[in-house]
Amino acid sequence: MKKQESSITSLIAAFSRAHHSQFDAPKIFDDYLAQELISKDEFQSIEDNMVQGIEFFNKEIAEKYKGNSRKLLKWITQVQLAPTPLARAAYCERVLQNEIQLGVEQYVILGAGLDTFAYRHPHLERVLEIFEVDFPTTQAFKKQKLQEASLSRINNLHFVAMDFTKQFHSQPLLDQGFQYKKTFFSLLGVSYYLTKEELASLLDHLFALVPAGSSLVLDYADESLFSEKGISNRVDHMVNMAAAGGEPMKSCYRYEEMEKMLAQSDLLIYEHLSPSTIQQLYFQHRTDYLSAFETIHYMHMVKK
C-alpha cells in the first residue's frame, strides 16, 4: 500500500464491511459502525465506480444484470471485495476475545485503517489497551472520520503513526504507553505485500517487545497465489489489481515454509485455517455469492 493511497484503501475495506452489515444475511462479521465512517457521497462514489467496472470482473454478469446496479454491486462485493476482509476479521476477533480471557492486556492492530473494534467494545476500556498502527495520512483521515461521526475519544485507544511495512520502530509504540505485557497483534491484509525477509524481520521486532504467551493472527497467501484463477478469475483479478495499483503482491508460502520461518522467531503455530476450513467455519450453507477466497489462509501464532 502506498502512503497516498492508504486512505482510499481503508475506505474501500470499510465499505465492504458496511455493505455486508446493511444488506447481507446471515452476518459473517457485523461491523455495524463502519457505515458511520463513510459519508453518503463516498458510499455512492464507491458504488458507482464498482458498478462501472463490472466488465473487468465478469462480462457475463455485466450483461445479465445490465441496468440493475443493486445486483451488480452485490455480485462484485460478495465475490471479489468482501470474503477475505469479513472472515479474517471474524476469526481474528474470536481469537482476541479468547486471548483476553487468558490474560492479554494489549492489542496492537497493524494496518488498522478504519477499524472500529475499540468503539464496538467500550466495555473493554479498563481491560485492554488498544494501539492502532498505520500511515500518518491514514490516521489523520480516520481521526477526521471519527470527528465527523461524533465518535468521541476513547481512553484506551492509542494512535501510532508509522510505516511499519518499511521499517518497524518500537519507540512510537512506547511513547503511547505500550508496555512489556502479554500482547495480541493482528496483521491482516499485509503479508502479501511484504517480501519474506521483511515479514520475518517485522515478526522478530514485534515479539522482542513482549513476553512468552503473546500471539499474532495474520492472513497469508499459499504457493498457488500466482497460478490459481479462482471463482470468476477473482484471484487473478486481485493479483492484477494490486500490480496495476503500483503495489504488487510479493510473497506466498507453503505451510512448511511458514512453519520454518516462525520457528526462527521462537513462534509456534497454534492454529491454521486453510481455505476449505474457512469455508466450513464462515460460509457453509450460504445461498448468496459469499465464499472463502482461494489461496488465502489464516494463522494464529504464539511466542514460546
Co-location of 188 and 214 in the same domain: yes
Q: What is the pLDDT of residues 67-123, one digit of tens each?
A: 999 999 999 999 999 999 999 999 999 999 999 999 999 999 999 999 999 999 999
Q: What is the DSSP string of 163-203?
A: -TTT---SHHHHHTT--SS-EEEEE-S-GGGS-HHHHHHHH
Q: Tens digits of per-residue pLDDT, 29-76? A: 999 999 999 999 999 999 999 999 999 999 999 999 999 999 999 999
| Pair (37, 112) in one structural domain | no
Task: Give the pLDDT confidence of 133-161 residue by residue, as tens digits.
Answer: 999 999 999 999 999 999 999 999 999 99
Same domain, 51 and 175: no
Same domain, residue pair 293 and 162? yes
Three cell numbers written together for 132: 492502532
Return the biggest CA–CA distance within the chain. 57
Is residue 281 domain-shared with residue 157, that is, in the same domain? yes
Count how many domains the chain has: 2
Domain end call among 23, 58, 81: 81
List the grid coordinates of 31: 461491523
* Residue 208 and residue 142 share a domain: yes
Q: Which amino acid is at 174?
A: L
Distances (CA, A) of 172 to 134, 175, 270, 285: 11, 5, 29, 45
Distance CA 239, CA 162 (A): 25
Residues 165 and 240 in one domain: yes
Residue where a domain stops, chosen among 30, 49, 81: 81
| pLDDT for residue 179 | 98
**Final residue of a structural domain among 50, 81, 112:** 81
CATH code at position 291: 3.40.50.150
Same domain, 121 and 198: yes
Are 46 and 100 found together in one domain? no
Cβ-in-10-Å burial (0-12, 13-18, 19+) of 123 comes to exposed
50 and 195 inside one domain: no
pLDDT tens, position by position, 193-241:
999 999 999 999 999 999 999 999 999 999 999 999 999 999 999 999 8
pTM of the model: 0.96
124: domain range?
Answer: 83-303
11 and 130 share one domain: no
Same domain for 104 and 12? no
Structure confidence at residue 91 (pLDDT): 98
Residues 223 and 218: their CA atoms lie apart, in Å, by: 16
